[in-house]
Amino acid sequence: MTSPPIQWYPGHIAKAEKALKEQLKLVDVVLEVRDARIPLVTQHPLVSQWTGSKMRVLVLNRVDMIPPQVRQLWIDWFRREGETPYFTDAQHGKGTAAVTLAAQAAGLGVNQRRSDRGMLPRPVRAVAIGFPNVGKSALINRLLGKRVVESARRAGVTKQLRWVRISEEIELLDAPGVIPAKLDDRDAAIKLAICDDIGEASYNNQQIAAEFVELLTYLEATAGNFLPKSPLRSRYGLDATNVTGEDYLLTLANEKHQGDTERAARQLLNDFRKGLLGSIPLELPPN
Ligand SMILES: Nc1nc2c(ncn2[C@@H]2O[C@H](COP(=O)(O)OP(=O)(O)O)[C@@H](O)[C@H]2O)c(=O)[nH]1
Ligand SMILES: [Mg+2]
């Protein structure tokens, strides 16, 4: 029997969800932030319920980590689904101005209703929600143009909710990452772990690194033209074809890390997360 890839902390999740629901009562617009490497896996199942009738702006962050052709495939796919995705690289401030405009436009109705009732306009209020580590804080910092919200490589850094005023027109709320209380899809759980988008949930590096190697082999076979050529061989000089992920990891450990499998696993995952293996999309639009 294989152990579940990720161990969840339901108490922590329930607390985060409760806090978020309270904050959602205060906002006009929801910025739903997802990871462009895995746009469907980082769709939180409760966001549409939480958003209700509020306006939502869909942000696919980390666009720098996927190839431009794949970004175009997603744009086409989301359009067919009736959605407009905003692609951003919050790290370098790319695409973020369009998000501000979209949030402002989404909030226009609020001030229309206020003025209809003889009330003064107020800034539109928005919240950024999404899985841990997808780049919510980095995005908000970019929208603001300065670093006011803590953003870090470690997942789960954002603990508290804070309002920040972006302009006279818009106020934003940063929020802690939310992960589903249950995740039955094993492949999705593995991709979340590979991308480091699951915050304080825990997993085994070696198991996830081995899965990553096998996922790469699968992606090269099924979507090879969207991937860099042999990313593992290019970086480590070791071919991954016809070996299990576990064997690859053991070989990598022996060749590069004096047999230390844990270090080999961490190097693999870190190299991917830093983009050192090239831009590798872990998910493509269905069909
Ligand atoms: N390459 C890249 N890194 C990003 C991007 N956005 C955020 N990051 C990095 O990812 C890490 C997590 O970002 P953070 O904003 O703290 O995520 P949060 O947990 O959703 O608030 C930080 O090290 C950021 O610098 C992006 O668009 N591209
Ligand atoms: Mg944060």
Statement: residue 76 has pLDDT above 90: yes
Q: Could you tell me if 159 and 44 lie in one domain? A: yes
Residue 210 inside a domain? The answer is: yes
Range of the domain at 221: 204-273
Q: State mean pLDDT over 65-90.
A: 97
Q: Could you tell me if 118 and 12 lie in one domain? A: yes
Residue 136 inside a domain? The answer is: yes
Can you spell out the DSSP letters for 99-122?
Answer: HHHHHHHHHHHHHHHHHHTTPPP-
Ligand 1 centroid–CA 200 distance in Å is 16
Residue 79 inside a domain? The answer is: yes
Q: Could you tell me if 163 and 211 lie in one domain? A: no
How far apart (Å, rounded) are the C-alpha atoms in residues 231 and 272?
Answer: 10
- Mean pLDDT for the chain? 89
Residue 83 inside a domain? The answer is: yes
Q: Which of 34, 137, 149, 197 to mutate to test the pocket of ligand 1 (most atoms within 8 A of CB)?
A: 137
How far apart (Å, rounded) are the C-alpha atoms in residues 99 and 281?
Answer: 22
Ligand 2 centroid–CA 130 distance in Å is 9
Domains contained in the chain, number: 2
Residue of 172, 226, 237 lying closest to 36 (CA atoms):
226
Residue 127 inside a domain? The answer is: yes
Residue of 132, 140, 136, 112 lying closest to 55 (CA atoms):
112
Q: Could you tell me if 59 and 120 lie in one domain? A: yes
Domain boundary among 154, 174, 194: 174
Q: Could you tell me if 170 and 67 lie in one domain? A: yes
Ligand 2 centroid–CA 109 distance in Å is 28
Statement: residue 163 has pLDDT above 70: no
Q: Which residues line ligand 1 (CB under 6 A)?
A: 61-62, 64-65, 89-91, 132-138, 151-153, 157-158, 177
Q: Could you tell me if 15 and 68 lie in one domain? A: yes
- Helix (H/G/I), strand (E/B), else coil: 173: strand
Statement: residue 266 has pLDDT above 80: yes
Residue 21 inside a domain? The answer is: yes
Residue 189 inside a domain? The answer is: no
Statement: residue 196 has pLDDT above 70: yes
pLDDT band with cut points at 50, 70 and 90 for residue 51: very high
Q: Which of 151, 157, 195 to mutate to test the pocket of ligand 1 (most atoms within 8 A of CB)?
A: 151
Q: Could you tell me if 147 and 238 lie in one domain? A: no
Domain boundary among 130, 153, 174: 174
Q: Could you tell me if 217 and 75 lie in one domain? A: no
The answer to whether 13 and 7 are in contact (CB under 8 A) is: no
For residue 20, the domain's CATH number is 3.40.50.300
Helices (H), the chain: 10-24, 47-51, 68-80, 96-116, 136-144, 186-195, 205-223, 231-236, 245-256, 261-273
Q: Could you tell me if 19 and 101 lie in one domain? A: yes
3-class SS letters over 244-280: CHHHHHHHHHHHHCCCCHHHHHHHHHHHHHCCCCCCC
**Which carries the bigger pLDDT value, residue 107 or residue 96?**
96
In the 8-state DSSP scheme, what is residue 43?
A: -
29-35: strand order across its sheet: 85-88, 55-61, 29-35, 124-129, 170-174, 162-165
How far apart (Å, rounded) are the C-alpha atoms in residues 96 and 89?
Answer: 8
Q: Could you tell me if 122 and 245 lie in one domain? A: no
pLDDT digits (tens, 9 = 90+) for 125-156: 888 999 999 999 899 888 876 544 555 555 54
Specify the range with the lowest mean pLDDT, choosing from 40-44, 58-62, 77-81, 157-161: 157-161
**Which carries the bigger pLDDT value, residue 221 or residue 170?**
221
- Of ligand 1's listed atoms, the one at least distance from the Cα of 199 is 19
What are the Cα distances from residue 2, in Å, to 6, 22, 69, 94, 116?
11, 38, 36, 41, 60
Q: Could you tell me if 210 and 169 lie in one domain? A: no
Q: What is the pTM of this model?
A: 0.91
- Of ligand 1's listed atoms, the one at least distance from the Cα of 94 is 27
Residue 196 inside a domain? The answer is: no
Q: Could you tell me if 226 and 143 lie in one domain? A: no
pLDDT band with cut points at 50, 70 and 90 for residue 166: low
pLDDT band with cut points at 50, 70 and 90 for residue 170: confident
How far apart (Å, rounded) are the C-alpha atoms in residues 225 and 96?
Answer: 29
Statement: residue 251 has pLDDT above 70: yes
Burial of 210 (0-12, 13-18, 19+ CB in 10 A): buried
pLDDT at 174: 75
Give the amino acid at 33.
V
pLDDT at 1: 44
pLDDT at 157: 45
Q: Using CA of residue 117, residue 119, residue 123, residue 129, what is the dihedral sign?
A: negative
**Alpha carbon nearest to ligand 1 atom 7, residue:** 135
Count of alpha carbons within 13 Å of 235, Cβ hemisphere only? 17
Domain boundary among 153, 174, 195: 174
**Alpha carbon nearest to ligand 1 atom 26, residue:** 62
pLDDT at 42: 97
Ligand 1 centroid–CA 146 distance in Å is 15
Q: Which of 62, 279, 280 to mutate to test the pocket of ligand 1 (most atoms within 8 A of CB)?
A: 62
